[in-house]
């Protein structure tokens, strides 16, 4: 063994590259710089900004299971919705403190993720896809039926949230909501980033790349998948809780197939399994939705559909994949 003090001198570059891969690169701070700058540049869009952060967090949670672990789901909104209803109902029932409410939202969604994951992650492929769909349908109807507590189809109204730390009141311009959502997103990102670069995260990638081999090297595959699913569900629940707290309203469509599909499209727009796909895809989708719906309130989804077709047919890596290719081309030209 080489003594630890001298090891860095002798360590081969390949080993160096592997253990330092998770070092922060300057470009990774770009989204945060943009988010802070946007606060000052577009003061009229703070509410949209907060919603974008929430969807980024939601899409990021999906990336963990879809992009890294390779679990295909059309039911991720189930967890977003459970989080939104948990935070909303707590506030309506008299628990107005936001941070604890948000934690409760995450925990409730994680529990649903754990229980459903234990059942459905025994399957894969089309069966799994159908089961994720079935769960979001069931929870949607349950929320609809339990109108006495969820408000049913009318939505959950009367949410009142205390100032954050007793100091920052949720204002009508959405300033507090903007920073609140941004800080929570930052924490969520830091957590997911740590996770995907950890041995646990790499083993998820291994499962995505070749599950047969992961079994053969002794990995408890199902336990890893259920753990990832639970964490992802918890994060989605936090995103849902944020939405309930910042908009002070929960609509029934937070638990829907449509929202599950939308978040999937956002992630595909940005790029799957790249950690930053959510940061590109969610804003692009939501700003496009905002602008397209202004121009054409009925048919805006047509254009989203068209963009999706072009991206999946010609740019499988999403927008980030296109950027990668462009950079590659530039570097190649320089040579």
Partner 1 sequence: MTAVLETRGLNKSFGALQVAQNINFRLEAGARHALIGPNGAGKTTLVNLITGRLRPTGGKIFLSGEDITDLPPEARVKRGLGRTFQINQLFKGLSVLENVALAVAERDGVGGNMFGAARARRAVAEEAYALLERLRIADDALKPVRELPYGRQRLVEIAIALGLNPKVLLLDEPAAGVPSTESAIILEMIAGLPPDIAVLIIEHDMDLVFRFARRITVLVQGAVLVEGTPGEIAADTRVREVYLGERSHV
Rounded alpha-carbon distances, angstroms, from residue 11 to 31, 179, 304: 34, 43, 49
- Residues paired with residue 250 on neighbouring β-strands, in sequence order: 156
By CB under 8 A, tell whether 274 contacts partner 1: no
Distance in Å, CB of 113 to partner 1, minimum = 16
Binders in 19-58 for partner 1, by CB under 8 A: 19
Site for partner 1 contains 193 (CB under 8 A): no
Q: How many residues bind partner 1 (CB under 8 A)?
A: 34
Query: What residues contact 266, with CB distance under 8 A and at least 6 apart?
Result: 55, 59, 278, 281, 282, 284, 285, 286
Compute the least distance from the CB of residue 260 to partner 1, in Å.
26
End-to-end CA, the chain: 41
**Contact status: 124 vs partner 1 (CB under 8 A):** no
Q: Is 307 helix (H, G, I), strand (E, B) or coil?
A: helix
Is 219 near partner 1 (CB under 8 A)?
A: yes
Contact residue for partner 1 among 171, 209, 258, 296 (CB under 8 A): 209
CB 215 to partner 1: min, Å: 6
Residue whose CB is less far from partner 1, 27 or 217: 217
**Quick one: 24 or 212, whose CB is closer to partner 1?**
212
Rounded-to-integer distance, Cα 94 and Cα 82, Å: 18
Cβ atoms of 159 and 250 within 8 Å: the answer is yes
Does residue 175 touch partner 1 according to CB under 8 A? no
For residue 257, the Cα-to-chain-centroid distance in whole angstroms is: 16
Stretch that binds partner 1, among 5-13, 69-77, 98-106, 312-320 (CB under 8 A): 5-13
- Considering only residues 24, 218, 332, 333, which one is a binding residue for partner 1 as defined by CB under 8 A? 218
DSSP assignment of 160-191 equals --PPBTTTB---TTSHHHHHHHHHHHHHHHHH
Dihedral sign of CA atoms 311, 317, 318, 323 in order: negative
Residue 194 binds partner 1 (CB under 8 A): yes
By beta-carbon proximity to partner 1, the closer residue of 228 and 282 is: 228
Q: Is 205 in the site for partner 1 (CB under 8 A)?
A: yes
167 half-sphere exposure, CB direction, 13 A CA radius: 2
Shortest distance (Å) from residue 9 CB to partner 1: 13
Q: Kindly list the residues in this chain that would bind partner 1 in the complex (CB under 8 A).
A: 7, 11-15, 17-19, 194-195, 198-203, 205-206, 209-210, 212-221, 223-224, 227
């Amino acid at each position: 063994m080489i003594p630890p003090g001298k090891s860095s001198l002798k360590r081969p570059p390949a080993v160096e590259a592997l253990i330092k891969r998770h070092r922060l690169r300057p470009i990774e701070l770009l989204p945060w710089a943009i988010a802070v700058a946007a606060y000052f540049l577009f003061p009229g869009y703070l509410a949209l900004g907060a919603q974008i952060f929430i969807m980024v967090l939601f899409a990021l949670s999906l990336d963990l299971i879809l992009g890294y672990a390779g679990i295909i789901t059309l039911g991720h909104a189930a967890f977003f919705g459970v989080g939104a209803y948990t935070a909303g109902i707590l506030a309506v029932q008299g628990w107005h403190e936001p941070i604890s409410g948000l934690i409760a939202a995450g925990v409730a969604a994680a529990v649903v993720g754990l229980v459903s994951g234990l059942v459905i992650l025994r399957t894969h492929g089309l069966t799994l896809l159908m089961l994720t769909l079935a769960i979001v349908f069931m929870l949607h109807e349950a929320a609809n039926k339990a109108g006495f507590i969820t408000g049913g189809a009318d939505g959950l109204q009367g949410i009142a949230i205390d100032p954050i730390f007793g100091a920052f009141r949720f204002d009508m311009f959405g300033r507090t909501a903007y920073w609140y959502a941004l800080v929570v997103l930052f924490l969520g990102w830091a957590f997911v980033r740590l996770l995907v670069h950890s041995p646990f995260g790499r083993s998820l990638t291994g499962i995505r790349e070749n599950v047969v081999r992961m079994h053969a090297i002794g990995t408890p595959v199902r336990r890893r998948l259920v753990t990832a699913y639970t964490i992802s569900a918890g994060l989605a629940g936090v995103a849902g809780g944020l939405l309930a707290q910042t908009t002070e309203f929960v609509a029934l469509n937070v638990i829907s197939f449509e929202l599950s599909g939308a978040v999937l499209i956002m992630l595909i727009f940005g790029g799957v399994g790249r950690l930053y796909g959510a940061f590109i895809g969610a804003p692009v989708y939501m700003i496009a939705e905002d602008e397209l719906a202004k121009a054409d309130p009925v048919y805006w989804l047509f254009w989203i559909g068209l963009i999706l077709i072009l991206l999946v047919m010609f740019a499988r890596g999403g927008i980030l994949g296109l950027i990668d290719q462009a950079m590659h081309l530039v570097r190649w030209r320089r040579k």
